Amino acid sequence: MFKRSFFHKLSPILALTILLSFRPALAAQQPLDLSELEKIALAEIKETNTPGAAVAVVSGDQVVFAGGFGVASVETSAPITSNMLFQIGSMTKTFTAAAVVTLAEEGKIKLDAPIGSYVTGLSPKLSQVTLHQLLSHTAGLKDEPDEYGLHDETALANYMHSWKDDYCLLEPGQVFSYSNSGVALAGFVMQEVVGKLYADHMSESLFKPLGMNRTTFRPTMAMTYPLAPGHRAQGKEKPTVVRPLADDSRLWPAGTMYSSINDLARFAIAFLNGGKIEGKQVLLPSVITQLSTPRVEIPSFVDDTQYGYCLWINEHRGVCQVGHDGAMTGYVATLKMAPEHRFAVIILANKDNGWLPKTLEKALELMLPLAAKSEVKPKPALPMNAAEMRRYVGVYANPNRWTAEILMRDRKLVLKQFGAELPITKIGDSRFSVQPPNASQPQEFVIGLGADGNPAYLHQLVWAFKKEK
């Protein structure tokens, strides 16, 4: 690395690249060949048939790279720029958690108190869950995507009040189960405590102090700035613009924030520097600690990933990282931070499933002391007798997601879902795997036991599916 500033000559596709100075402590190292990051990003948007993407890299308290690649819209061919807004999907949750935890650190709310202490009119079971459980996805609530719905901001409160006790799928604290609805409920509780609309409080308490001046939840505000519309495409067909833009004010706190890599980089700088940016204390250091403290393990994950307060926490090639991804109709977003190294990378793209894993990995390799990649070794199959297999047979459901069914076929277990029946292999204590079609590696899942010792839920990906009686 080096301590100097320079600008690369822009390629026709590259809309904007800004390279600022690196930290003085890194001056003795060799210069980075950042052109490699550009090459990979350009190649990957072509490979994934993604119209455009924006990438930012933070080191220390500086944005050392901010680049736009490709086009904002296939209809206008306008180039991506670093201040262009995208929907960031579930990355929104990290910001909702930051605002809620700030209230707690200020003594205005307790994370371990039943939310019924702060909100009236909720169902009895919902009233008993806590903000700690909502922000760590351990409240046991159903999940549903926050894609299309109402636009009136009063819908947030009305929706929460419409939920009955059956919205509680599992017992609070039983297991991690990702719930957009749960984080939306946390945002609603915050709204009631402060006496302001959720979007207004987020702007006043978080975005403005951070200098995230274009970040918003309101589509009619986002449309007044340069905005990259979302796209969809099957295979290599030409991407088309998603119309209408996804919006559901009932679940804004879980995933409908509009932001840019410039604005998101300001949050990352504050997060990596004890809450300070440009010499100003804008986040409490204790808030950062609370967000990034591991709270719960993810049963079905094959690695050591844990979840804090709306932050994923894991070790990648020997480096601890925290962050959150997001996906909305037509968009994907990634935020990865390595606090020990004061490093962050942000990637926003404007197509369904337009993930850029090679670009992300190259940024990590350029900036962090990553260990060599390790091979994932297959796990040996374990025997199951007929009595054990019969215990697992049944239907497991998370109603707004999908239903999985375990069946016995020719004295063997199969997992039936999405129109396919996949043979089940036991690989550990209550741990199993299946080989999904077209997947490069098996997918693991866990069958969790209830207090009576019988199967109570199936945990797959990030969700728990309750065993139906």
Q: Is residue 353 included in any domain, yes or no?
A: yes
Say if residue 317 is in the same domain as residue 344: yes
Residue count (the chain)? 469
Summarize the confidence of residues 356-368 as an average pLDDT. Answer: 96
Last residue of a domain, one of 374, 395, 428: 374
Summarize the confidence of residues 372-393 as an average pLDDT. Answer: 92
Say if residue 410 is in the same domain as residue 359: no
Say if residue 457 is in the same domain as residue 361: no
Q: What was the pLDDT predicted at 33?
A: 62
Q: What was the pLDDT predicted at 235?
A: 87
Q: Which of 6-10, 143-147, 250-254 has the highest mean pLDDT?
A: 250-254
Last residue of a domain, one of 374, 409, 433: 374
pLDDT of 80 above 80: yes
Q: Is residue 379 included in any domain, yes or no?
A: no
Q: Is residue 199 included in any domain, yes or no?
A: yes
- Tell me the C-alpha distance between 47 and 338, whole Å: 28
Q: What was the pLDDT predicted at 375?
A: 84
Say if residue 369 is in the same domain as residue 227: yes
With 0-12 / 13-18 / 19 or more C-beta atoms within 10 angstroms meaning exposed / middle / buried, residue 203 is: buried
Q: Is residue 291 included in any domain, yes or no?
A: yes
CATH number at residue 190: 3.40.710.10
Say if residue 107 is in the same domain as residue 208: yes
* DSSP assigned state of 256: -
Of the CA atoms within 13 Å of residue 23, those in its CB half-sphere come to 13
Q: What was the pLDDT predicted at 4?
A: 28
Q: What was the pLDDT predicted at 279?
A: 95
Q: What was the pLDDT predicted at 270?
A: 98
The total of structural domains in the chain comes to 2
Summarize the confidence of residues 436-453 as an average pLDDT. Answer: 91
- Residues of the chain above pLDDT 70, percent: 93
pLDDT of 18 above 50: no
pLDDT of 7 above 50: no
- Output the average pLDDT for the chain: 91
For 29-65, the pLDDT digits (tens) are: 445 567 899 999 999 999 999 999 999 999 999 999 9
pLDDT of 325 above 70: yes
For residue 131, give both structure tokens.
């903000």
For residue 68, give both structure tokens.
């736009």
Q: What is the pTM of this model?
A: 0.91
Q: Is residue 380 included in any domain, yes or no?
A: no
Asked if 245 contacts 256 with a C-beta cutoff of 8 angstroms, the reply is: no
Say if residue 451 is in the same domain as residue 368: no
Summarize the confidence of residues 317-329 as an average pLDDT. Answer: 96
Say if residue 300 is in the same domain as residue 432: no
Of the CA atoms within 13 Å of residue 322, those in its CB half-sphere come to 21
Say if residue 360 is in the same domain as residue 412: no
pLDDT of 12 above 50: no
Q: What was the pLDDT predicted at 8?
A: 31
Reference 293, options 275, 308, 306; nearest CA is 308
Summarize the confidence of residues 71-92 as an average pLDDT. Answer: 97
pLDDT of 25 above 50: no
Domain that holds residue 103: 1-374
- Tell me the C-alpha distance between 121 and 157, whole Å: 10
- Per-residue pLDDT band for 315 (boundaries 50, 70, 90) equals very high
For 163-172, the pLDDT digits (tens) are: 999 999 999 9
